[in-house]
Amino acid sequence: MTAWPDLPADHPFGPHNLPYGAFLTRDAAQPRLGVRIGDEVLDLPAALHATGADTGGAWAGALQEPTLNRLLELGHTAWTGAREWVTGLFAEEADPAVVRPHLLPLGQVEMVLPFHPADYVDFYASEHHATNVGRIFRPDQAALTPNWKHLPIGYHGRSSTIVVSGTDVVRPSGQRKPKDAEVPTFGPSQRLDIEAELGFLVGGPTTVGERVSVDDAADHLFGVMLFNDWSARDLQAWEYVPLGPFLGKSFASSVGAWVVPMAALEHARTELPTQDPEPLDYLRGDGSGLFGLDIEMEVRLNGTVVSRPPYREMYWSPAQMLAHMTVNGAALSAADVFASGTVSGDEKAERGSFLELSWSGQEPMQLEDGSERSFLEDGDTVTITGWAPGPDGSRIGLGEVTGTIRPATELG
């Protein structure tokens, strides 16, 4: 007997992946948790009942909830138990006849946000992105601010506006001040942008005053998902001094529907770039917890590939971001989310924002239909896909995060 379903060895959603999601069906009043296998989703509550595992402990109960929040709250041991059970369903010794009835074609379900976000922090962890932005906005000064290589810079976002892939994004309005104007005006953003990022879903709550070290960060990192931090650059430019991003960022952040467990990314771990100067002790630990991720991304605007950002070049490790986020004693909650910041590489074709790709509008992007873009127009659709190396030359798919821009709403 061989592992099933019968999928190509290099299928991005084979039994080596099994990302979590939440879905609705026509006959369901609330979402159910599932895992993706091939182009189907396994109904986890139904599979638990069919296999007799629905009384298998706390993790089994958590998989029967409508979101991942309860599982995230239980911590790393429960995550391991749940994954061992799920992967066992597709092992050689498994009985397909028991599980197959509970596989649903993706086309027959509606994917929804698989967790209720608790808190949200966005980082700024790409040296290439930070350097490009510095050169654009501060051409007569050093591209990186003096603190950038000493700590992972971040800001608090708005968790209530994290939306699942496929949700339309309404163009935000706010104050904008052109360089040659004396006073700001109010209206829809004219420089609406994307930020191709990787999001991290956190579990294992802590208490106020407790720190999470880089060496223990893995106990709190549940999984990753594709992330698009939509950004209104004109609103942001006027508001960010002296306290940083606010309304230019808080109107929408899109996440992929699939959360890939960290356990599925063991073969994607890679070394960090050289960090010089050496970070402070709390950002180093014993070194065992520091890692990068070899994840490839692709950004499409209205079907045209405009960028392929490489996550492996990110300067700061997710473990360092988490350690810095808690070093002051800030508590973690189940379903906290933090994102990496824009992923950009050294080459122009690897830049993860339109601000960089168009160099603030000076070098418009050419699309396959003959049109040009510097920033987003109403009706534009952006889709970010991603994948990582898996075992034996396979791929780990992250799926996609997509959104379409709708016109600004008028104030009533």
The catalytic residue positions are 129
Secondary structure, 3-state, 130-149? HHHHHHHHCCCCCCCCCCCC
Residues 363, 241 contacting (CB under 8 angstroms): no
Contact by Cβ (8 Å): 228, 343: no
Q: Is 240 annotated as a binding residue?
A: yes
Angstrom distance (rounded) from CA 364 to CA 304? 14
DSSP one-letter code for 313: G
- The answer to whether the annotation marks 282 as part of a ligand binding site is no
110 is known to lie in a ligand binding site: no
378 is in an annotated binding site: no
Calculate the alpha carbon distances from 272 to 276, 287, 290, 368 in Å: 11, 11, 8, 36
Q: Is 138 annotated as a binding residue?
A: yes
Name the 3-class secondary structure at 314.
coil
Q: Is 342 annotated as a binding residue?
A: yes
Q: Tell me 208's DSSP state.
A: T
Q: Is 197 annotated as a binding residue?
A: yes
**Single-letter amino acid, residue 4:** W
Q: Is the dihedral of CA 271, 258, 400, 104 positive or negative?
A: positive
Q: Is the dihedral of CA 82, 223, 263, 106 positive or negative?
A: positive
- According to the annotation, is 236 in a ligand binding site? yes
Q: Is position 249 annotated in a ligand binding site?
A: yes
229 labeled part of a ligand binding site: yes
- Identify which of 353, 395, 337, 379 has the alpha carbon closest to the alpha carbon of residue 164: 337
363 is in an annotated binding site: no
Residues belonging to the binding site are: 122, 124, 138, 195, 197, 229, 236, 240, 249, 253, 342
Residues belonging to the binding site for substrate are: 124, 138, 236, 240, 342
Residues belonging to the binding site for Mg(2+) are: 229, 249, 253
Residues belonging to the binding site for Ca(2+) are: 122, 195, 197, 229
